[in-house]
Amino acid sequence: MNKEQLSALLKEEVQISAIRSSGPGGQNVNKVSTGIHLRFDIKKSSLPTLLKQKIFNSLDKRINKEGILVIKAQRYRTKEKNHKDAILRLVDLIYFHSRVHAVRQPTKPSFRQKQKRLHNKSKISEKKIGRSKVVF
């Protein structure tokens, strides 16, 4: 599923309300509600159960105890741009948690790397010994 299909699917499951945003806009900021509050109920969504658990268990401060994700978009001066921004941020969050992270394979340094490290240590040690006071 690509991002456009996911955003179209999610538009039906989100609650969007307009708020007065802070930031640029002069007096217009006090009169027009251009900010967007996007509320997405993770538990009631049509996402797979494993993905719901991943998102809910993430330490994202935008998710409350009831499992509702709240995204506040007020980056732009128009309501339409903030609406698109909020949807894209939700889609990006879902894509981030849907990825399968590769498990790191532990490796060991090669023999040549060990030799080079020890050689550099001895050179630095000699340099520091050369800086010390000469005792007669």
In tens, the pLDDT along 87-116 reads 888 888 888 888 888 899 999 999 999 999
Closest to 11 measured CA to CA, from 53, 49, 39: 39
Q: How far is CA 79 from the centre of its chain?
A: 23
* All residues at 6 or more sequence positions from 72 whose CB lies less than 8 Å from its CB, including other chains: 19, 35, 36, 37, 38, 86
The reported pTM is: 0.64
Is 131's pLDDT higher than 70? yes
Q: How far is CA 65 from the centre of its chain?
A: 20
Is 126's pLDDT higher than 90? yes
Two tokens, residue 72:
């506040």
Q: Does domain 3-98 have CATH number 3.30.160.20?
A: yes
Distance CA 56, CA 92 (A): 15
DSSP secondary structure code for residue 39 in this structure: E
Residue of 60 and 80 predicted with greater confidence: 80
Distance between start and end Cα atoms, the chain: 79
Is 76's pLDDT higher than 70? yes
User: Mean pLDDT across the chain, nearest whole number?
Assistant: 81
Rounded-to-5 percentages of helix, strand, coil across the chain: 45, 15, 40
pLDDT of residue 58: 80
Distance CA 93, CA 86 (A): 11
pLDDT of residue 114: 97
